[in-house]
């Protein structure tokens, strides 16, 4: 569990895209983002108050989150100076970088001397159990994709935000680095040892109120041969009551796999649903989330309408339209089950 609120470290980001972790926190948990810390040549800007470490500490920030990718696979001396100063100032550090903070001897020494924590969110911090398959109370929704990186995290976060706005009980359950940094906890599922993957998913979505929904962040795709095992563990460990199908319609092949074409939404439905019903016979597909960033507004609306007609399910781009109709589908499901 990472202590909030955060000071977002944007470093020497060469462009806005490099700071996408910070952007995610700013977008989805603005209440966690007290300010930003930028180096002189930083080209990213979250529109937050620029703060020194001392100012941020005074404002209540607990953790300096590295919200930017590093260059060249090293933590530079310039970064190091700031990270050490932050520890000395009383901040914990949190990072999703490939280079682990815990592998930097100076950071470890200073953190120990100052009694601060180093959070490397790429590394599991819990000894997860083996999944039991025992039915849990509360409801769960899982986003599954035709491919990796089609908007599963965005969809779950947008649904969670919409549910909170309506006063419904929901929790986004992070299963990847960015999601963990955004919310302060979760499991880096791709880094968990195989035997414990499904158990880790059970662990992060425990028993809950009967009217509470976990929005579980999806990973990979059942059709992506590199990562399908991780997806499978989510489908079984998550015991979803509801699936959202996620798709990016302009992609020419599976991400990183030339020669592998994307499945249709029908194929995704027909593959994912029977597998999900092994763990939860009541599971249904409730909606479709399409990432239309590479389509014009007109093209997007036409495409969404055609998908909606073909699949007989609400189809939205939550970035353009919000996730309200997907949440409607969950609410309707609740009503159907109760009726």
Shortest distance (Å) from residue 338 CB to a copy of itself: 24
The reply to whether 232 sits near a copy of itself by the rule CB under 8 A is yes
For residue 171, the surrounding DSSP H or E stretch is strand 169-173
Burial of 154 from C-beta contacts in 10 A (0-12 / 13-18 / 19+): buried
Q: Using CB under 8 A, pick the residue from 45, 104, 117, 190 that binds a copy of itself.
A: 190
Beta bridge partners of 243: 142, 285
Report the alpha-carbon distance of residue 98 to residue 191 in Å, rounded.
11
Q: Which of 2, 19, 197, 313 binds a copy of itself (CB under 8 A)?
A: 197
* 295 DSSP 8-state letter: S
- Residue 100 within binding range of a copy of itself, rule CB under 8 A: no
Shortest Cβ 164–a copy of itself spacing (Å)? 30
Residue from 7, 19, 131, 244 touching a copy of itself (CB under 8 A): that is 131
CB of 231 to a copy of itself, least distance (A): 8
Asked if residue 292 lies in contact with residue 246, where contact means CB atoms within 8 angstroms, the answer is no
Decide if residue 82 touches a copy of itself (CB under 8 A): no
Least Cβ distance, residue 270 to a copy of itself (angstroms) = 8
Binding string, residues 266-295; x marks residues near a copy of itself by CB under 8 A = -----x--xx--xx----------------
Give yes or no for a contact between 317 and 301, defined as CB atoms under 8 angstroms apart. Answer: no
Shortest distance in whole angstroms from residue 134 CB to a copy of itself: 8
> Tokens 């930003």, residue?
36
260 binds a copy of itself (CB under 8 A): yes
Helices 324-338 and 152-165: angle between axes, nearest 10 degrees: 70
Residue of the chain from 90, 229, 322, 324 that contacts a copy of itself (CB under 8 A): 229
Instruction: For residue 5, state whether it binds a copy of itself (rule: CB under 8 A).
Output: no
4 or 177, CB closer to a copy of itself? 177
The secondary structure of 265-281, three-state, reads: HHHHHHHHHHHHHHHCC
Q: Nearest CA to 154 among 321, 268, 318?
A: 318
Among 231, 289, 291, 292, binds a copy of itself (CB under 8 A): 231
Q: How far apart are CA 229 and CA 223, in angstroms?
A: 10
Distance spanning both ends of the chain, measured CA to CA: 38
CA separation for the pair 63, 218 (Å, rounded): 26
Q: How many residues bind a copy of itself (CB under 8 A)?
A: 40
Element (H, E) at 177: helix 177-183
11 belongs to the binding site for a copy of itself (CB under 8 A): no
Residues engaged in binding a copy of itself (CB under 8 A): 130-135, 189-195, 197-199, 222-223, 225-233, 235-237, 254, 257, 259-260, 263, 271, 274-275, 278-279
């Amino acid at each position: 569990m990472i202590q909030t609120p955060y000071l977002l470290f944007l470093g020497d980001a060469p462009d806005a895209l490099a700071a996408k972790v910070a952007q995610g926190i700013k977008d989805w948990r603005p209440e966690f983002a007290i300010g930003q810390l930028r180096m002189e040549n930083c080209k990213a800007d979250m529109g937050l108050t620029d703060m020194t470490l001392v100012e941020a500490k005074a404002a209540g920030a607990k953790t300096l989150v590295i919200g930017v990718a590093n260059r060249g696979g090293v933590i530079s001396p310039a970064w190091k100076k700031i990270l050490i100063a932050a520890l000395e100032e009383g901040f914990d550090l949190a990072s999703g970088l490939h280079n682990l903070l815990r592998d930097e001897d100076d950071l470890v020494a200073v953190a120990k001397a100052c009694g601060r924590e180093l959070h490397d969110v790429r590394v599991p911090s819990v000894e997860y159990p083996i999944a039991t398959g025992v039915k849990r109370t509360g409801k769960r929704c899982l986003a599954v994709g035709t491919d990796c990186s089609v908007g599963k995290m965005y969809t779950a976060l947008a649904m969670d935000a919409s549910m909170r706005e309506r006063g419904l009980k929901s929790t986004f359950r992070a299963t990847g680095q960015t999601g963990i940094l955004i919310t302060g906890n979760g499991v880096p599922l791709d880094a968990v040892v195989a035997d414990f993957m499904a158990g880790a998913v059970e662990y992060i979505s425990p028993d809950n109120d009967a009217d509470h929904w976990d929005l579980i962040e999806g990973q990979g795709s059942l059709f992506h041969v590199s990562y399908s095992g991780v997806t499978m563990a989510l489908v079984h460990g998550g015991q979803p009551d509801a699936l959202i199908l996620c798709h990016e319609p302009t992609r020419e092949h599976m991400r990183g796999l030339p020669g592998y074409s994307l499945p249709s939404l029908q194929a995704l439905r027909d593959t994912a649903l029977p597998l999900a019903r092994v763990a939860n016979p009541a599971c249904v597909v409730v909606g479709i989330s399409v990432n239309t960033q590479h389509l014009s507004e007109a093209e997007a609306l036409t495409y969404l309408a055609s998908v909606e007609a073909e699949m007989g399910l609400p189809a939205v781009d939550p970035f353009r339209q919000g996730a309200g109709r997907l949440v409607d589908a969950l609410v309707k499901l609740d009503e159907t089950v109760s009726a």
